[in-house]
Structure 1
Amino acid sequence: MRLRGRKGIRETIESQHDLVVLNPAEWKGRWAERFGNEKPIHVELGMGKGKFISEMSVLHPDCNFIGVDMYDELIRRASEKARAAAGREDGSAPDNLALALFNIERIADVFDEGELRRIYLNFSDPWPKKRHARRRLTHAGFVRQYVRLLDSRGEIHFKTDSRPLFEFSLNSFADLNIRLRRISLDLHKDGPAPDNVMTEYESKFYEQQMPIYRLEAVIGQEALAEHEASLALAERQP
C-alpha cells in the first residue's frame, strides 16, 4: 500500500501527544495507565482513515479505544477524524481514544495477555494469493495471538466485503474451536444494520449494494457463559 501524504506528516503526528502513540510497546501491560482508568479496551487492527474507531469512541464513553495502523499518513488522517468526531471547540480528541503506530505483526509486543476486551477486524486486506494466506489477519497464527490478549469477556468482531476471506476466516475460527455468533452473509440487506458503525469502505460498498459479511467470535470464558445463558433463556421462551 502506497500513500501520498502531506509534507511534515511525521512532525504533525509527533506533536499530538494527547492522541497519538508512536512507541506503543512502551505501554504494554499499562494501557489502563495510559488512559487513566480501568475501562475495557477495544482495539481496531488496521483502522484506515479512522472513521469507525473515532465514532465508536464518541458513542461508547464507557470503553477505551485504540486505533492501529502502520502508516504515518493514516495516523494523521485518523487524528483529524478523531478531533472532528469529538466536536469540541478547542479541537481536543476524545479522552478514551488513542491512535497507535505499529505493524500488526508486532501485536504481542504492544499488548499483554488479557489486556483487551474486544478486537475489531474491519475490511482487512484479503491477501487473495494462497502463498500469502499467513498474512491474513484471521489466519490461525494471528487468531491465537488475539486469544491470548483478550480478557475473560473478550470477543473478536470481523467484517469484510471479500467472500473468499470470509470463507477462509470461518474455517480458521472453526479449526481453533472458537464459538461464533451473529453470522451474516449480507449485513445491510434490509437497510443499514442497527447498532453498526460503518467504515469508509463499508459506506461505499453499501451505496453499491455489495454484500457485507460479518461475524462475532466469542473468546473469553465469561463471554461464552453469558452467550450460552442467553441461548438457554431463548429456548425457554414460549
Structure 2
Amino acid sequence: MRVRNKPWAKELIADHPHYVIPNPEEYKGKWTEAFGNDQPLHIEVGTGKGQFITEMAKANPHINYIGIELFESVIVTALERLIEAELPNVKLLNVNAEDLTDYFQKGDVDRVYLNFSDPWPKKRHAKRRLTYKTFLKRYEDILPSGGEIHFKTDNQGLFEYSLQSFSEYGMLLTFVSLDLHNSDYEGNIMTEYEEKFSSKGQRIYRSEAKFRV
C-alpha cells in the first residue's frame, strides 16, 4: 500500500497520548485501567483511517475499542476523527499486528475485526495475510476461549482463502455472506473502502469465525 507521507503526523500523535497509547505493552493484562472501566474490548487490526471503529464506538458506548494501524500517516486520520468526536471508548495503537501478544494477553480482547485487509495475492506472500495461520494463532492467544473474528473484504480470492484458513485452523464458521449488502444482515457499519467499493457495485463478503472451546 502506498502511503502519502505526513511529516506532521508524529507530532500530532505525540500530543494525544490519551488516544494513541505510547507504551501499550504497559497495559498488557490491564486494559481496564486504560479505559477506566471493565467493558468488553474489541479490536480492529488494520484500522486505516478509523471510520469503522469510530462509528462502532458511537453505536456501542458499552464496548471499548482499540484500532491498530502500522502507518503513522494513516492512523493520524483516525486520530483526527477521535479528536473531533471526543469518544471515551476508543484508543489507537500505532504498532505492527505481528506483535499483538506483546500488548495483549489471553482474554484481554473479546473480539477481533479484520476489515478490507491487504489481500497479498501472490502465493509467496501468503504469510503476510492477516488470516494466515500464524496470525490466527496470535488472535487465539489474546481472545477468550470461543472468541470470534469478524472479517470483511471485497476480494473474492482473499475471502475464499480466509474461509479455508479458518476451517483448517479448526475454527467454526458461524456466519458467511457472499453479498453482504444484499443480505438480511442488520447493523453493518461500513469502512471507507467498503463505501468506495460498494458504490461501484462490487460485492462485499463477510464472515464470522469462532475458535473452538
Same fold (TM over 0.5): yes
Cα offsets for 1:44-94 (capped at 9, x unmatched): 00011000001111110111000000111112100112233x2xxxxxx21
Residue 214 of structure 1 pairs with residue 206 of structure 2:
yes
Unaligned runs of 5+ in 2: none
State the match for 1:235 in structure 2. Answer: none
Unaligned runs of 5+ in 1: 87-92, 222-238
Deviation at 1:182, TM superposition (A): 1.7
State the match for 1:168 in structure 2. Answer: 161
SS of 1:126's equivalent in the other structure is: coil
SS of 1:20's equivalent in the other structure is: coil
Cα offsets for 1:78-134 (capped at 9, x unmatched): 0112233x2xxxxxx211100111011111111111111000000000000000001
SS of 1:77's equivalent in the other structure is: helix
CA distance in 2, matches of 1:153, 1:170: 17
CA distance in 2, matches of 1:129, 1:40: 36
CA distance in 2, matches of 1:6, 1:148: 34
Deviation at 1:153, TM superposition (A): 5.4
Residue 156 of structure 1 pairs with residue 149 of structure 2:
yes
State the match for 2:172 in structure 1. Answer: 179
Residue 53 of structure 1 pairs with residue 53 of structure 2:
yes
State the match for 1:65 in structure 2. Answer: 65
TM-score of the aligned structures, taking structure 1 as reference length: 0.85
- Aligned identity (percent) is 46
Structure 1 residues 41 and 71: alpha-carbon distance in aligned structure 2, compared to 1, 3 A threshold = same
CA distance in 2, matches of 1:151, 1:94: 26
Residue 143 of structure 1 pairs with residue 136 of structure 2:
yes
- Output aligned runs, 1:2-17, within 5 Å: 2-17=2-17
Structure with higher Rg: it is: 1
Q: How many equivalent pairs are there?
A: 213
Residue 188 of structure 1 pairs with residue 181 of structure 2:
yes
CA distance in 1, matches of 2:123, 2:154: 18
State the match for 1:100 in structure 2. Answer: 93
- Conserved? CA contact 1:23–1:101, under 8 Å: no
CA distance in 1, matches of 2:183, 2:141: 36
Runs of 4+ in 1 over 4 A off after TM superposition: none
Cα offsets for 1:157-189 (capped at 9, x unmatched): 000111111111111111112111220011012
CA distance in 1, matches of 2:198, 2:70: 27
- Conserved? CA contact 2:170–2:212, under 8 Å: no
TM-score of the aligned structures, taking structure 2 as reference length: 0.95
CA distance in 2, matches of 1:172, 1:190: 24
State the match for 1:229 in structure 2. Answer: none
Quick one: which of 184, 188, 191 aligns to 1:199?
191
- Conserved? CA contact 1:57–1:94, under 8 Å: yes
Residue 121 of structure 1 pairs with residue 117 of structure 2:
no
1:210 maps to amino acid: Q
